[in-house]
Every structure is written in C-alpha cells, then in structure tokens.
Amino acid sequence: MDICDDGLTSVNAIEASIALSSLRENVFQQWTSRVTAAIPEAAELREKVVTSALQRFFDEIIDTLRKTPHLSNETSQASVISLHARDRANSTAYGPRELLHELQLFRQSLFETADASGLQLAQQDRAIIARTVDAGALEAMDAFALAHREIGETFIACLAHDLRNPLNVANASAQLIQVKSIDDNVLRLARRVCAKLINVDEMIGTLLDAMAVNGRKKLRLKITSFDMKSLVDEIAADMSLPDHPIISTGEASVGFWCRSSMKRVFENLLSNAQKYGAPRAPIKVHTEKSPGGLVLSIHNDGPVIPENEMHRLFSAFHRLADIDIKGWGLGLPLVQLVVESHGGTVVVSSTASVGTTFTIQLPIDCQACSSDSSGKS
C-alpha cells in the first residue's frame, strides 16, 4: 500500500472494495439521515427507508470494483435497482424527482463517507462507482415509470369493469320498461336511455383500447377453439347495413385463437369499410386456410388510401386527414396489436382500380400466445 503526501491511504481496486465494504453501515446511516431530512415523502418510510434492494445495489458496486475495476458493466445493477424503484412506486408517494434525489444522495453519502474515513479512492474507481450509480438511476427511472403505468392501467381497468356493472343493470331495467310499458312517451325515453348507455359502454371500450395500444407490446389473450368462419358470419349478420351489405365467403376454419379479441378486429375493420367505402357497394370478407395457417381478407370499394398515409395507418390516434369522420383513430392500431399478439400479420393494399383490402394471416394454433402460457403474452 502506498501512502499519499496528505496522509490518506491510496489503495488498489480490490483493497478499495474491501475498505468500502467495511463502511457499509456508515454509508447507509448517513444516507438515511439525509433522505429523511431532504425528501418529505420519505417520512412515511420511517425505519424502512433503506430497502434490501438498495443494500444489494451497494454490495454489487463493491463487487464491480473487485471484479472489473477498469471495465465496469453499467447495466449489471439493472434488476436490483429496478426492484428498489418499483418498491418506491408501489409503497410511497414518490415521484420521479424524489427517486432521482434519493439516488443522488446515495452517491454523495458513499463518497463523503469514504473521504471522511481517510479512504483515498483512485480516480478510476470513483469513475466506476459514479457510472454505476448513474446507470442504475436511469434504469430505476424506467422501472419507476413502468410501475406507475401498470398501477394506472390496473386502476382504469378495474374502474371500467366496475362501471360496466351498473350500466348493465341500468340497460336491463330500461329494456324491461320497454317490455312492460304501453305508453309511447315512456317507450321513447326508455329507448333513449338504452342508446345512451350503449354510447357510454363504447366510450369505456375506447378507453381500454387506448390503454392496450399505448401500454403494451402484446395483449393478454384467452385462447379457445372455435370456427373463425362462423365468427365472421355472425359479425357480418350483425353489422350489415342496407347501403353497406357484408358478404362472407370461404370455408369453415377451426383453430385456436382469442374469440373476443378477433371479434374486435372484425368489428373495427368492417366499421372502417362502412365509413370509408363506396356507398351501396358490398363489403367482402373471405376466410381461407393456407399452408401457413389462416388468411382473412376484408375488401371494400371506394376512395383509395393516399400513399403518404399508408405508413401511418396503424399509428394510434391517426385518421385520414382528408375525410371528416368522427373517431379516436384507435381501430387500426388495435387491429394490429391483436393480430401481432396472435403471432400474425396484417397488411393493407389500396388502389383506385381494385379498392382497399386488409389481409390478415394467423397461425391456426395460437395456444402459445395465451396469457396462461408461461409469460408468452
């Protein structure tokens, strides 16, 4: 060991890690004091302000110094510091600022405790510690944001579910009034109530769609066995309009998919075809098996989709700029999300001579994509 002119001890990286490890308790005592004094939201933590996750983060900093003093792996602490961030998101009133401040105080406490004890850390060792803490802070911010988003999604999903229960009761009551009453005014009002309740339910569906499109890479799917052609026929019958008849052709195709999600896919694509298609022109849906799985196509005649709009067609909240049709622009992004969550693809072609066709390709068996399948969804 070399002795510096100022009397402080200069040590190599391994010795630094051992010496710093002995200061562990002092580091966290100083850090706890600083956090409780500087961050009001930490007061509720009381004696639990130091979590096991952050203590493990300190231990891994020591380990980084001991093993790779010159080549620090800046992402090695990701999982540990993420646990700390998720704990703060779930159990405190912290915001991103408080979390970042906490980690800044941790780094300051570590360096100042080392300096006060006479431990002279080499410049390269200080740089490794600083980089590790900075990288951990970035990872912690990502984990914190993700945890808060999950909390928000869970809250909204539960609220939407709870809202639908009284809506269903109100709708059933309004329908019962229509059956029991013979008063025209009462019947008219009951029909209006039912219509408005349907509107509210659609708004809730739109909210859930927005969450799915913007908050997840894949949907949670409930995979069951059913005939896709039968589902298409059912939806076509429900949605056919006098000026937009829907013609379903093809063959029976039994496979494993999420029925409710695929129902939303067809409802969105057929609704789009009715909005943007040529009046009185039939909309054609074709179901066909292929060597690679199942091919579904939805075709409508009418205005061509501009080429400069094609690349943004599946972007959330995007609608064709030159067509004045109300909507949130979530239909096609949801279609793409559902199809890709099944392991499939959706493409669109649009020409003035042929019309517009959305083509979906799906595997016949999507059981591996189920939300019950070992985290594959």
CB 211 within 8 A of CB 157: yes
Cα 178 from Cα 15, distance rounded (Å): 84
What pLDDT sits at residue 6?
43
What pLDDT sits at residue 133?
92
Mean pLDDT of 18-45: 87
Give this prediction's pTM.
0.50
Q: What is the pLDDT of residues 329-349, one digit of tens each?
A: 456 777 888 898 899 999 999
Backbone torsions φ then ψ of 125, nearest 5 degrees: -70, -40
Cα 293 from Cα 246, distance rounded (Å): 24
Average pLDDT over the chain, rounded to an integer: 79
What angle separates helix 123-180 from helix 52-67, to the nearest 10 degrees?
Answer: 140
Cα 13 from Cα 62, distance rounded (Å): 10
Q: What is the pLDDT of residues 43-102, one digit of tens each?
A: 766 555 556 678 889 988 888 887 754 444 444 444 788 888 888 887 788 899 999 999
Domains along the chain with CATH numbers: 1-215 (no CATH), 223-369 (3.30.565.10)
Residue 2 has pLDDT above 50, yes or no: no
Mean pLDDT of 161-167: 73
What pLDDT sits at residue 248?
94
Q: What is the pLDDT of residues 256-298, one digit of tens each?
A: 998 888 988 898 899 888 888 888 889 999 999 988 799 999 9
What pLDDT sits at residue 328?
37
What pLDDT sits at residue 303?
83
Q: How far is Cα of residue 113 from the mean position of the Cα atoms in its chain?
A: 41
CB 82 within 8 A of CB 54: no
Mean pLDDT of 24-49: 81
The torsion region of residue 320 among left (phi > 0), alpha (psi -120 to 50) and beta comes to beta
3 state SS for the chain: CEECCCCCEECCHHHHHHHHHHCHHHHHHHHHHHHHHHCHHHHHHHHHHCCHHHHHHHHHHHHHHHHCCCCCCCCCCHHHHHHHHHHHHHHCCCCHHHHHHHHHHHHHHHHHHHHHCCEECCHHHHHHHHHHHHHHHHHHHHHHHHHHHHHHHHHHHHHHHHHHHHHHHHHHHHHHHHHHCCCHHHHHHHHHHHHHHHHHHHHHHHHHHHHHHHHCCCCCECEEEEEHHHHHHHHHHHHCECCECEEEEECCCEEEEEHHHHHHHHHHHHHHHHHHCCCCCCEEEEEEEECCEEEEEEEECCCCCCHHHHCCCCCCCCCCCCCCCCCCCCHHHHHHHHHHHCCCEEEEEEECCCEEEEEEEECCECHHHECCCCCCC
Cα 340 from Cα 369, distance rounded (Å): 10
Tokens of 218: 């894949």
What pLDDT sits at residue 47?
54
Q: Cα separations (Å) of 209 from 54, 145, 276, 328, 363?
A: 37, 20, 21, 10, 23
> How many CB atoms within 10 Å of residue 176?
11
Cα 266 from Cα 153, distance rounded (Å): 25
Cα 76 from Cα 64, distance rounded (Å): 9
Q: Is the model more confident about 47 or about 26?
A: 26
What pLDDT sits at residue 218?
61
Residue 223 has pLDDT above 80, yes or no: yes
What pLDDT sits at residue 295?
95
Question: Predicted confidence band at 210 (pLDDT cuts at 50, 70, 90)?
Answer: low
CB 298 within 8 A of CB 269: yes
Percent of the chain, pLDDT > 90? 26
Half-sphere exposure of 130 (CA within 13 A, CB side): 10
Q: What is the pLDDT of residues 311-334, one digit of tens each?
A: 667 654 444 444 443 433 456 777
What pLDDT sits at residue 46?
58
Tokens of 216: 């997840």
Tokens of 183: 């008063």
Q: Distance from first CA to last CA of the chain, Å, rounded?
A: 55
